[in-house]
């Protein structure tokens, strides 16, 4: 099968969406399919075309940035050529260009599947409200043209104003999650470097430093944790400097974080590779996902932590709460409630041995190959149906 995957950002850009797309594309290749990823050249230093792990990546030049989006004038021309060459088109949303690509697929008689990752909420302001509205219109046009939609959980779909309109052609697939084994000695080396044996308990956060991630909720909860556990520390893994569109948010929170850094109870680790994360997770006592709005639909990192028998505290957002609920590996707290987050952390620290799971079964359930097989069935069914029309 020739699969065309289209999204605005692809690797090396780091987000849950790009990680999902990369894992799925690689799994399709391993299963014998020809995969092309069409994306934007958001960084001019990136090659226009390259092969990554068997996946052909084509990047379209960017002429202009608008908020967190980009304008690529030749996107349509490239899409026309590529859609004609493939058997099925998978679009990752949110994406401004999705309706144009979906229309081309329909005109060429190619099935279109949308994978909807999350809603888009930009920071307050008139311009961002306009951008939000435009993206909503584009997403709805794409959904009307699509043959089928996929999202992470039924919980998220049931609470999404967007997805609930298209229930008749929507299927939830769990996301692809995989973590390599840690290198020999890497867990111990990480512990020594970051004093995770001396400063405990360890609270992990693995995300971009962005407003929707709820970093301030953890900041407000931390004093109560330190009162009970003066040696507690937060290890923040992920981009925290020069995050696109998040400078005002960083400027507001960094003065408070610097005080915790000076106390030795907050450390920024920067972006970690999958191999580095494999050494990081076993050094955690708990992972927190205090996200604030539906731009977060699941939180892949929760499953990565659970694979290492690390409990999670997640906010009660639809979709985000599901890993904890499905696998009984932590606690769900009200959205934005710092006191509840602190209380949940203290409860978990007091009974850490309670949180254990079947790591092998969990890994199989989220294995990219397992997820790719579900997509294959969907694609094949749509191709057959299209052939009969």
How far, in Å, CA of 361 to CA of 293, rounded? 30
Q: What is the pLDDT of residue 102?
A: 96
Please name the residue that has the structure tokens 């890497």.
186
Q: What is the pLDDT of residue 122?
A: 63
Give Cα 183 to chain centroid, integer Å. Answer: 25
CATH of domain 186-364: 3.40.50.2000
Contact assessment for residue 327 and residue 182, using Cβ atoms and an 8 Å cutoff: no
Q: What is the pLDDT of residue 388?
A: 47
- Domain extent listing, the chain: 2-176+367-388, 186-364
Instruction: Print burial letters for 184-198: b (CB count within 10 Å at least 16), e (below 16).
Output: eebbeebbeebebee
Give the rounded percent of residues in the chain with a pLDDT score beyond 90.
77
Give the tens place of pLDDT for each residue, 297-335. 898 999 999 999 999 999 999 999 999 999 999 999 999
Q: What is the pLDDT of residue 149?
A: 97
Q: What is the pLDDT of residue 127?
A: 66
How far, in Å, CA of 152 to CA of 204, rounded? 23
Counting Cα atoms < 13 Å in the Cβ hemisphere of 330 gives 29
As a residue count, the chain comes to 389
Give the tens place of pLDDT for each residue, 263-307. 999 999 999 999 999 999 999 999 999 999 888 889 899 999 999
Average pLDDT over residues 236-255: 89
Q: What is the pLDDT of residue 357?
A: 87
Q: What is the pLDDT of residue 246?
A: 85
CATH of domain 2-176+367-388: 3.40.50.2000
Residue 121 pLDDT > 80:
no
How far, in Å, CA of 251 to CA of 24, rounded? 36
Average pLDDT over residues 215-221: 97
Give the rounded percent of residues in the chain with a pLDDT score beyond 70.
96
In the predicted model, what is the mean pLDDT of the chain? 92
Give the tens place of pLDDT for each residue, 1-39. 999 999 999 988 888 889 999 999 999 999 999 999 999
Q: What is the pLDDT of residue 137?
A: 85
Q: What is the pLDDT of residue 389?
A: 39
SS3 assignment, position 248: helix
CATH fold match for the domains 2-176+367-388 and 186-364: yes
Q: Which one, of 352, 268, 264, lies nearest residue 313 by Cα?
A: 352
């Amino acid at each position: 099968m020739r699969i065309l995957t289209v999204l605005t950002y692809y690797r090396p850009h780091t987000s849950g969406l790009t990680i999902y797309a990369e894992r799925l594309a690689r799994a399709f290749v391993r299963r014998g399919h020809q995969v092309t990823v069409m994306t934007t050249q958001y960084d001019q230093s990136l090659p226009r075309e390259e092969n990554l792990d068997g996946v052909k990546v084509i990047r379209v030049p960017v002429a202009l940035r608008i908020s967190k989006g980009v304008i690529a004038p030749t996107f349509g021309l490239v899409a026309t050529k590529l859609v004609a060459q493939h058997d099925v088109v998978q679009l990752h949303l949110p994406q401004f260009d999705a309706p144009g690509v979906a229309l081309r697929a329909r005109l060429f008689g190619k099935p279109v599947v949308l994978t909807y990752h999350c809603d888009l909420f930009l920071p307050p302001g008139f311009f961002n409200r306009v951008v939000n509205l435009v993206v909503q219109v584009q997403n709805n046009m794409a959904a009307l043209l699509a043959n089928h939609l996929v999202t992470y959980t039924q919980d998220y779909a049931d609470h999404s104003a967007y997805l609930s309109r298209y229930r008749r052609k929507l299927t939830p697939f769990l996301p692809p999650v995989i973590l390599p084994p840690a290198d020999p000695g890497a867990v111990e080396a990480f512990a020594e470097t970051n004093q995770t044996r001396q400063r405990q308990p360890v609270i992990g956060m693995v995300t971009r430093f962005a407003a929707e991630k709820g970093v301030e909720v953890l900041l407000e909860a931390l004093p109560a944790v330190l009162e009970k556990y003066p040696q507690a520390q937060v290890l923040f893994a992920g981009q925290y400097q020069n995050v696109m569109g998040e400078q005002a948010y960083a400027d507001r929170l960094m003065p408070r974080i610097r005080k915790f850094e000076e106390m030795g109870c907050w450390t920024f680790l920067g972006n970690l590779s999958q191999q580095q994360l494999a050494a990081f997770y076993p050094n955690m006592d708990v992972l927190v996902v205090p996200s604030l709005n539906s731009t977060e639909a699941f939180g892949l990192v929760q499953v990565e932590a659970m694979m290492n028998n690390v409990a999670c505290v997640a906010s009660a957002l639809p979709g985000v709460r599901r890993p904890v609920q499905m696998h009984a590996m932590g606690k769900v707290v009200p959205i934005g409630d710092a006191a509840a987050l602190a209380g949940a952390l203290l409860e978990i620290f007091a009974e850490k041995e309670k949180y254990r799971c079947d790591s092998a079964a969990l890994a199989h359930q989220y294995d990219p190959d397992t997820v790719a097989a579900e997509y294959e069935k969907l694609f094949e069914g749509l191709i057959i149906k299209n052939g009969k029309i």
